[in-house]
Structure 1
């Protein structure tokens, strides 16, 4: 089953974000070693654990421009926001940003939530309708993507949004710029991507 959404879909302003309820999760040590292929296929590991831009990868996979639907831009101050603990290294007060990543034709591919220092968010996201990768590329910003956590779990909200039953794979990572934390990003990917990446586990 696939779900296609119109670009003009009405945006909502949620007061929370869509964290997975994990069946399994792993930290830095597991991420460095990789997972057994029976747990996560090599193609999915390259996608989830690599340090390249997911926006760019999605565009290469689908052959369509990756676009964003901004669904939330909220001032959360110094609130922990039930975010991964690494969010606390991003200076506060903070802004939380939530988007859907989709093809130009409307197919939702991923959900992303990010946390930014409020006083600098406009420096890096000058056009908030662009994916983060595109915004930072325009600024020629040098970044290091530091994957910190990997998740396999459920979310009723994401099942509805993607049009697929869970569980889903997700991750969170820090962006570092000039050796300083720029933002923490939490991403969850739609099983629709099995069309391009193949099955999530070897032997399925």
Structure 2
């Protein structure tokens, strides 16, 4: 899992940006417990910890920094603006509770003017780090999706399909993080029991 990129195959994807008027009306085939988990605006790791009265930690798989020559990327808040990025830090982690893998997350930290090394504590989820820092952020949910991945299913010890989501975290008007999360298909049962 740490040496090669996972192959997640999306069978279905719902772009929330294109369909803002229907954001509150997700397709009815999505079970209500998944709608709540996928569209919740709070920190997933914090909510999971509260529901289970168990701390959600991460298990670091891979982290690397890519230095760019002042790469310009489209700013996701102001679509007509671009922001300059000097370094992108990629991180792949397992989200765990009591040693059980409940999710897999991949994120890109777009280093610009914000120095947020606290985001990379080896056993603390990004959401927990942001809450602890009291950084004023805005989260922008982009997509929810359904798919399969043999590597993730094996690690979760369950068969798919697997639900996931992608979102951006902004500080002021700059995109700080791009996050992709894929959850174990056992997750609703884990959180309720």
Return the TM-score normalized by structure 2: 0.80
Check 1:170–1:93 CA distance in 2 against 1; reply closer, same or farther (3 A cut). same
RCO comparison, higher one (Cα < 8 Å, 6+): 1
- Residue 138 (structure 1) aligned to one of 122, 132, 138: 132
Cα offsets for 1:77-114 (capped at 9, x unmatched):
45xxxxxxx6x9683431110110011x2111100000
Aligned-partner SS, 1:111: strand
1:82 is aligned to none
1:22 aligns with 2:10: yes
- What does 1:167-178 align with in structure 2 at a 5 Å threshold? 167-178=161-172
C-alpha displacement at 1:118, in angstroms? 4.3
1:190 aligns with 2:184: yes
1:73 is aligned to 63
Check 1:140–1:134 CA distance in 2 against 1; reply closer, same or farther (3 A cut). same
1:49 is aligned to 39
1:93 is aligned to 87
- Residue 103 (structure 2) aligned to one of 97, 107, 110: 110
Q: 1:43–1:197: 8 Å Cα contact kept in structure 2? A: no
Provide the C-alpha distance between the structure 1 equivalents of 2:180 and 2:67, rounded to a whole number of angstroms: 18
Provide the C-alpha distance between the structure 1 equivalents of 2:62 and 2:3, rounded to a whole number of angstroms: 6
Check 1:118–1:45 CA distance in 2 against 1; reply closer, same or farther (3 A cut). same
Unaligned runs of 5+ in 2: 69-75, 77-81
Cα offsets for 1:104-128 (capped at 9, x unmatched):
x211110000001246565342523
Cα RMSD, aligned residues only: 2.7
Paired residues, what number?
A: 178
Return the TM-score normalized by structure 1: 0.76
Unaligned runs of 5+ in 1: 1-11, 79-85, 199-204
Q: 1:147–1:173: 8 Å Cα contact kept in structure 2? A: yes
